[in-house]
Amino acid sequence: MKSDYLELTDVRVTFDGFVAVDGVTMTVLQGDLRFLIGPNGAGKTTLVDAITGLVPATGSATFGRTELLNRKVHRIARLGVGRTFQTASVFEELTVLQNLDIAAGSGRGPLTMLRKRSSTPPEVEAALEVIGLTDLRDRQAGVLAHGQKQWLEIGMLLVQDSKVLLLDEPVAGMSAEERQQTGELLQRVGENCTVVVVEHDMDFMRSFATSVTVLHAGRVLSEGTVAQVQADPKVQEVYLGRAEVEA
């Protein structure tokens, strides 16, 4: 079942002459928990934006042999590519349950849409369990703690039935305990999905990454396991070295 993998070939994004992503080629397999790291401005978020249709890009990005680039955002989402955002963007006025229910429902027909939800869909129940928010299901999402909002976002990806999960700094601003829980959550989720995590937190990466891609100035600088990447002198020069110093 390793046929469903995310494959990027020479992806390029340009803003008014500025090249933000400069020919990125990489492959992420199912079951992989890939971390995408790099200094500020390396093009990490832009790359995720390109894959999810937020910014126009050239090159190719395929998932299960289906081309993703230059489709509309919601079409890409329906192909099973989901993402989260740096700042948690859940629907604050809706409850946890409603958030998940909306995420689960893009395939619903008009008649289902126009009716009241009579019971909680099983996949939503399951997701509530996985992200540990079952007790808070009727709580407004706006009043959740920061970490809980991020988990809710991940939960929304799960019920959305995403095969590719693109997570943009999921643990930023979380406590150590929350990070640990999030990491374990990602490992559980990653068994059946292709997961790409954009992250700055090196400790978090070291603990949970199965593989790492380092971006620098819009290009792939290095790729491999955590150990391989850490040993790469180019990476030490532009990024990790500095991080070591900081740490």
Nearest residue (CB) to other proteins, 29 versus 94: 94
Backbone angles phi, psi at 166, to 5 degrees: -110, 115
**Which residue in this structure is represented by tokens 């900081």?**
246
How is residue 81 annotated by DSSP?
E
User: How far does CA 184 lie from the centroid of its chain?
Assistant: 15
Asked whether position 117 contacts other proteins by CB under 8 A, the answer is: yes
Binding to other proteins (CB under 8 A) within 145-174 occurs at: 156, 160, 168
Q: Which one of 41, 66, 67, 87 is in contact with other proteins (CB under 8 A)?
A: 87
Q: Does 109 bind other proteins (CB under 8 A)?
A: no
State which of residues 15, 145, 242, 244 lies at the interface with other proteins (CB under 8 A): 15
Treating both helix axes as pointing N-terminal to C-terminal, what angle do 96-103 and 122-131 enclose, rounded to 10 degrees?
120
Gap between the Cα atoms of 144 and 148, Å rounded: 6
Considering only the stretches 58-66, 94-102, 143-151, 210-218, report the one whose residues sit in contact with other proteins under the rule CB under 8 A. 94-102
Residue appearing with tokens 């937020």: 54
Residue 72 binds other proteins (CB under 8 A): yes
Cα–chain-centroid distance for residue 169? 8
Residues that bind other proteins (CB under 8 A): 15, 45, 52, 54-55, 72-74, 77-78, 82-83, 85-87, 89-94, 98-99, 101-103, 105-108, 112-117, 156, 160, 168
